[in-house]
Structure 1
Amino acid sequence: MFKLTSLNLNGLRSAATKGVADWVAELAPDCICMQETRVQASDIEGRFEDMAGLKGHFHFAEKKGYSGTAVYSKHVPSDIVVGWGDTEFDAEGRYLELRFDTPKRKLSVISCYFPSGSSGEERQEAKFRFLKGFFPHLVALKKEREFILCGDINIAHKEIDLKNWRGNQKNSGFLPEERAWMTRLLDAGAEGAGLVDVYRLLKPETTGEAYTWWSNRGQAYANNVGWRLDYHLATPAIASLARSESIFKTIKFSDHAPITVDYEFKL
């Protein structure tokens, strides 16, 4: 099995104080994709190059204490792609792709942190720019190789993906335009990208257990007033190898919960 995990850390240093390394050691994934690391190279040196025997790879944001992605891997990649070619968003450290190419298959594991538009209109417009540019990137990548994109997508796709969907239809993360983008991403037709939402493949009707993010306001976590914002998005052949999923909520490393999927292949 290939065990793959995704987790928005809301700060690598913060998550480290909450025992994330011990949990990773117990979980023993092949790779763990992390988003919102909020670190620079100087923060990594001598402290976070490795975690639980996994080698760390990073895409740092230019702005200190902001964004950032990482992949810790048990396997040595054949290539590493830092950024997806968009100057605006590559400066924010939002995309890291590890390639594991063998005679059998060309496979990428991607950690991606989609922008949030919740802070205001300016960031929502940036989010829309990201979505517009990122779609053709994924379509082109899919023509070249198999991949699993793990990340904080910052979009709840359908009504079953958040608790209070009626009251959030005008809020970032559940806007009609964002949801339509996700629908198109998962559409196998000529206009779609044909990717697969792996969690929904395995758990098509699950509601409350599916949530991966909770607001820090009020008693959202205690009352499970959550959103499903964290995904595994895979090309169809790889998605068909997904066998089990788990969302870990026993320990709270950040305002997100890690999602793990076991795939029936080995590198």
Structure 2
Amino acid sequence: MLRVATFNVNGIRATQRRGFDDWLRRREVDVAALQEVRCPVPLLPSGAFADYHLAYDAGQLAGRNGVAVLTREQPAAIRSWGAGVLVRAPGDAHVELSEPAESGPLARELKAFATEGRYLEVDLADQPLTVASLYLPEGGLPAELQVPGRMREAPDGGAKFERKMRFLAGFARHLTRARRTALASGREFLVMGDFNVARSRQDLKNWRTSNRSEGFLPQEREWFDSILSPRSLVDVQRALHPDVDGPYSWWSWLGNAFTNDTGWRIDYHLASPRLAKVARSAVTDREPTASERLSDHAAVVVDYDL
């Protein structure tokens, strides 16, 4: 059995102080995809990744983004969008960056994101599987939905929304190529991470009032539907739990959102069909109380019978 997790840690240093090390040891995952590591390479906390091999693209935006993949064995290959990546063995204190192989010609829409620390993929050495970690842009509202005084931020004319839509357009093509490349080399494909989109009404608590909110806009949900099919990629957790609401994986820090389970499911395992068919369980590691939270996200852990 291969246990695989995706976890937006919302800052590895803060999450480690809250108990990330204990979670990693207790869950005994074989592979973990992390998002929003948000830490310069020289400041990575000592011992945070236990006995795992680390591949980490910190990006070039100070204090933002950053994706990583933890594996039991040294990966057979590591690919990025062109930025330098830290590759470190367990106990290795070195901080030099390596130049991994690029993940193929980058879609033109993604070139503006190449140094932001948003995507990293590895080929496992001990399983015929390619694993990717993704942190998709949060986005914003289209211009026609922006009302001054009713927004958390100043209106931007739809700039963040358009930027996210450009990412989605390029990433759809990237996923197709990455999946086909993996299959052509005899590997299954799994992309995990924070997609910053709730797919359907089942995936957020207050869906009735969220149709005009970023992350649940019709354009975003249509895009998500377009990348899924029985022959391309499968939402593993929803396939295993088709009739439940959630389970949610993100809750605001504000108010009683966590206590009341007023959340969103925005963290996913999307697997090639043959891999999805051998998924045996999918669990969201929601902490018992708000005071025990490690992050504003919860890890999504899936067991694959390989």
TM-score by length of 2: 0.80
237, 240, 252: which one aligns with 1:202: 240
Distance (whole Å) between structure 2 residues aligned to residue 21 and residue 217 of structure 1: 25
Per-residue deviation, 1:252 = 1.2
Q: Which amino acid is 2:245 matched to? A: T
Query: Partner of 1:113 in structure 2?
Result: 135
Q: Which residue of 2 aligns with 1:152?
A: 194
Provide the residue aligned with 2:58 in structure 1. Answer: 60
The answer as to whether partners of 1:212 and 1:228 remain within 8 angstroms in 2 is yes
Give per-residue Cα distances to partners, 1:66-113, cap 9 Å, x unaligned.
Answer: 1110111112211001225333112110001011267x84x2111100
1:227 matched residue in structure 2: 264
Identity %: 38
What secondary structure, in the 3-state scheme, does the structure 2 residue paired with 1:88 have?
Answer: helix
Paired residues in the alignment total 256
The ranges of structure 1 where at least 4 consecutive aligned residues each deviate by more than 4 angstroms after the TM superposition are: none
* Pair 1:163-2:185 in alignment: no
Counterpart of 1:258 in structure 2 is 299
Q: Structure 1: which 5+ runs fail to align?
A: none
2:160 aligned with 1:123: yes
Is the contact between residue 73 and residue 125 of structure 2 (CA under 8 Å) also seen in structure 1?
no
Counterpart residue number, 1:212: 249
CA distance in 2, matches of 1:43, 1:161: 35
Corresponding residue for residue 140 of structure 1: 177
Query: AA paired with 2:23?
Result: W
- Tell me if structure 2 keeps the 8 A contact 1:169–1:176: yes
Q: Offset at 1:61?
A: 1.6
Please give the alpha-carbon distance, in whole angstroms, between the structure 2 residues aligned to 1:236 and 1:187: 9
Q: Is 2:205–2:264's contact at 8 Å kept on the other side of the alignment? A: yes
Q: 2:178 aligned with 1:178, yes or no?
A: no
SS in 2 for 1:147: strand
- SS of equivalent residue, structure 2 residue 56: strand
| Matching residue within 286, 289, 292 for 1:249 | 286
Instruction: State the alpha-carbon separation in 2 of the partners of residues 12 and 158 from structure 1.
Output: 30
> Per the alignment, in what secondary structure is the counterpart of residue 148 of structure 1?
strand
What is the TM-score with the length of structure 1 in the denominator? 0.91
| Aligned partner of 1:91 among 102, 115, 125 | 115
Residues in 1 aligned to 2:209 and 2:300: alpha-carbon distance in whole angstroms: 26
Partner of 1:5: 5
Aligned alpha-carbon RMSD (Å): 1.7
Answer yes or no: is the 8 Å Cα contact 1:30–1:73 preserved in 2: yes
Contact residue 22 and residue 52 of structure 1 kept, 8 A: no
Shift in Å at residue 216 of structure 1? 2.0
Q: Which has the larger radius of gyration?
A: 2
C-alpha deviation, 1:126, in angstroms: 1.4
Q: Secondary structure at the match of 1:64?
A: coil
Q: Deviations over 1:170-225 (max 9, x none)?
A: 11100001000111111347xxxx210000111011115x1000112221111111
